[in-house]
Chain A
Amino acid sequence: MNLIEKYLAKAAGKETVSPGMDLTCSVSYVAAHDVTAPIAIKMFRQIGVKQVFNPDRVALIVDHIYPASSEKARDNVWIMDDFAKEFGVHLYQRGEGVIHQLMYEKHRAQPGELVVIADSHTGTCGGYGAVGVGVGSTELAAAMATGKLDLEVPEVVQVYLTGKCPGNVFGKDIILYLGSKFGTDHLVDRALLFTGPGIEGLSVAERMTICNMGIELGSMITLFGTAEREPDTVEDLELDLGSLEPMIACPFSPANVAPVSKVAGTAVTQVVVGSCTNGRLSDMEQVVKVFRGRKVSPEVNTLIVPASKEILEQMEERGWCKIMRDAGATVLNPGCGSCFGAHEGLTSARDVVVSTTNRNFPGRMGSMKANIYLASPATAAATALTGKITVPNV
C-alpha cells in the first residue's frame, strides 16, 4: 500500500485496501462556508438527526461573501448563525479568514486524518499531511450527521521531486507546470502524491499552494508524503525542480500553462494577490520584497487579500501593509471575494488580470470576456510594478 492507501485503510478500520474498493471512513473534521453551508444545513435538517457527530469537530466559516454584499447573502449567514447556536458547532463570521487557512490555524488535522469540507479546494490540507476530500452540501450534511464518509480508494499518481527551485520559482509554478503535463481531467477520481528529496526544500505554505490546486487537475486527494518513494502507484513522474522556470496559466483554463517568459509584455489592468491558494505570510513577503520603496503601475488595480486575519495582523506588525499601500496597492479584508466573482474586484470586458488565485474560467471574476492569468505572488508583484506580465527577478 502507498501512503494514501494506508491512511484510508486506517480511517476505514481495515488492514489493507486497494484501488476501487468502497470504504466507509471515519472523519476527523467537517467544515463548510457561506456558499455551501446553507444547503448542507437544509439537508441536515431533512435527515432528521438531533445532533452533529461531534460539535467540536465541525466548523462553519463565512468567507465567500463577507461583509455581505446583498440582503440574500446576509440571510445565508443567519442560517449558519442559527445552526451554530442550536448544535454548538464552531462559527467564524467576523472576517477571520478563508476556510482552508482557518482550518490550518484553528482546527489543524494531524497527518493522515481525514478532513471533509464542502469546498473543492479541501485538498489544501494535504500540504500539512492531512487527507482532504472536497464534497458538496448533501455529502457534507451526511458527514456532519454520522462522522463518516463513503469513498472509493483512488489510484495514486506519484510525483517524485528532486533538486531545488530556482530563486524565482515557487510552489505555484510547480503545480501550474504539472497542470500543463496532466491537463484538467487526467487525475479525475485519482489521487496525487508528492514524494522525493525535493519536497524538503518546500515550505508548508508552498505545499499547501500545490495541494490547493490539485483539484484543477481533477485530483480527488492531493498529499505530501516523505522523501521516500511510495510503492503501489499507477504512474510515477519524476520532476527536477531545478529545471523549472516561472509559469503562468493563460485564459481560460488553469491547465493552459506557458512559461511567464512566453507571454511577458502583455498589458494588464488588475493584479490580485491572495486567496486560499496564495494568501499566506510567505506569499505576502514575496510581494513586499518587490514593492518596498517602489510604485505599482498607475494603470493597474493592485488588490492584496490575506488568507486570514492572523496573517493580516502579522503583515501590519511588520509594516508590510504600509509598504504595500505606499506602493499604491489596496489591502482588502481576508476573504474569497476577488477570486470567485461575487464582489470586491469584479472585472469588465476590458480587463486583463494576473491573479495568484486558482481558477481563470470564463467569467470567474466578473466579465466573461476579461482575460485572467494565474501566477505566483512574485510574478504577480513584478507584473503590478510594470503593468505588463513580467518574469520576476531571481
Chain B
Amino acid sequence: MNTIQGKVIVLGDDVDTDQILPGYAMAEPYDQLGKFAMAGLASGDFKTVYEPGCILVAGRNFGCGSSREQAPIALRQAQIALVIAKGFARIFRRNAINIGLPVWAADVAGSLKTGDRIEVDLEQGTVVVNGEKKQFQPMAENVMKTLTYGGLIPRVRAELGITEREGE
C-alpha cells in the first residue's frame, strides 16, 4: 500500500458518524454494512459520484459522534481506499486504523474538487494532483505498521505469534 490512486470526493466539515452510517443500519449484519456507507450524507448525492477505490477528502472533525466501528467498516466494505481530512474525531480515527481503513490527517481539501484524480504516498506524505506534487506530514510509522497488517487484530496476532485459525 505504498501509493494509493483514486478519484476524489470532496466533503465538508463535521461529517458525523450518523452521516457515514445512519442509526437505522446499526442492526445490519456485519458483511452488509458497505451498502449503507455515506447513506446519511447531509449534502449532495454520494451515489452519483461514488466509485470503488475512491478517496474521501474532508475538512475538520471527520467522524465525530458515535463510537460505532460499523462506520469505518462500512467505508472499507464500500472500497473507499483512503480518507483524508484536515482533522478526525479521535474514536473514529482509532477505529479506522484498528480495522485497517487508511485515514490520514492532512489539509488537502482546498486544492481539490470532486472528480479530481490523485496519487497519495502515505509514507512520504505526498499528494500528486495534475502532475504537481505537494508535501504534507507523512503518516505516523506506528499507524503505517498497523495498516500494513490490515488492522489491529492481525497485528496483535502476528506479534503474539498466534497462528491457529481465527475463531468465529
Chain A contacts for B117, CB-based, 8 A: none
Task: Flag whether B129 is at the interface (Cβ < 8 A).
Answer: no
Q: How large is the interface on A (under 10, 10 to 19, 20 to 34, 35 or more residues)?
A: 35 or more
Interface residues of A in 343-392 (CB under 8 A from B): 359, 361-364, 368
Chain B contacts for A341, CB-based, 8 A: 18, 22-24
- The answer on a CB contact under 8 Å between B87 and A46 is no
Min CB distance B99 to A, Å, is 6
- Interchain CA distance A252-B43 in the complex, whole Å: 12
* Stretch in A68-76, A157-165, A261-269, A296-304 touching the partner: A68-76
Interface residues of A in 137-156 (CB under 8 A from B): 137-139, 141-142
- The answer on a CB contact under 8 Å between B27 and A73 is yes
Chain A contacts for B42, CB-based, 8 A: 252, 362-363, 368
Task: Flag whether A270 is at the interface (Cβ < 8 A).
Answer: no
- The answer on a CB contact under 8 Å between A189 and B90 is yes
- The answer on a CB contact under 8 Å between A135 and B27 is no
Q: Mark B75-96, 1 if CB is under 8 A from A, else 0.
A: 0000000000001111100110
- The answer on a CB contact under 8 Å between A185 and B167 is no
- The answer on a CB contact under 8 Å between B69 and A138 is yes
Min CB distance A99 to B, Å, is 11
Q: Nearest chain-B residue to A363 (Cβ)?
A: B40
Task: Flag whether A64 is at the interface (Cβ < 8 A).
Answer: yes
- Interchain CA distance A136-B91 in the complex, whole Å: 7
Task: Flag whether A5 is at the interface (Cβ < 8 A).
Answer: no
**Given A35-B68, A188-B90, are A363 and B19 neighbors across the interface (CB < 8 Å)?**
yes
- The answer on a CB contact under 8 Å between A45 and B167 is yes
Task: Flag whether B136 is at the interface (Cβ < 8 A).
Answer: no
**Given A136-B91, A138-B69, are A359 and B27 neighbors across the interface (CB < 8 Å)?**
no
- The answer on a CB contact under 8 Å between B66 and A120 is yes
Chain B contacts for A65, CB-based, 8 A: 26-27
**Given A135-B67, A137-B69, A184-B61, are A359 and B18 neighbors across the interface (CB < 8 Å)?**
yes
- The answer on a CB contact under 8 Å between B157 and A364 is no
Chain A contacts for B14, CB-based, 8 A: 184-185, 253
- The answer on a CB contact under 8 Å between A36 and B67 is yes
Min CB distance B50 to A, Å, is 18
Task: Flag whether A52 is at the interface (Cβ < 8 A).
Answer: no
- The answer on a CB contact under 8 Å between A185 and B67 is no
Task: Flag whether A340 is at the interface (Cβ < 8 A).
Answer: yes
Q: Nearest chain-B residue to A35 (Cβ)?
A: B26
- The answer on a CB contact under 8 Å between A138 and B95 is yes
Which of B22, B90, B156, B157 is in CB contact (< 8 Å) with A218?
A: B90
Chain A contacts for B166, CB-based, 8 A: 45-46, 48
Chain B contacts for A184, CB-based, 8 A: 14, 60-61, 64
**Given A136-B94, A218-B61, are A76 and B27 neighbors across the interface (CB < 8 Å)?**
yes
| B interface residues (Cβ-Cβ under 8 A, vs A) | 14, 16, 18-19, 22-24, 26-30, 40, 42, 60-61, 64-70, 73, 87-91, 94-95, 98-99, 151-153, 156-157, 162, 164, 166-168
Taking A136-B69, A188-B87, A359-B16 as given, write out 5 further A-B residue pairs in contact, using a Cβ cutoff of 8 Å, ordered by the A residue number.
Answer: A36-B68, A72-B28, A218-B64, A362-B18, A368-B40
| A interface residues (Cβ-Cβ under 8 A, vs B) | 35-36, 38-39, 42-43, 45-48, 64-65, 69-70, 72-73, 75-76, 118-120, 122, 134-139, 141-142, 184-185, 188-189, 215-216, 218, 220, 252-253, 340-342, 359, 361-364, 368
Q: What are 14 of the A-B contact pairs (CB < 8 Å)?
A: A36-B69, A39-B70, A45-B167, A118-B69, A119-B66, A120-B66, A136-B95, A184-B14, A185-B61, A216-B64, A340-B18, A362-B19, A363-B19, A363-B42
List 4 tightest A-B contacts by C-beta distance, closest first: A136-B95, A341-B23, A45-B167, A185-B61
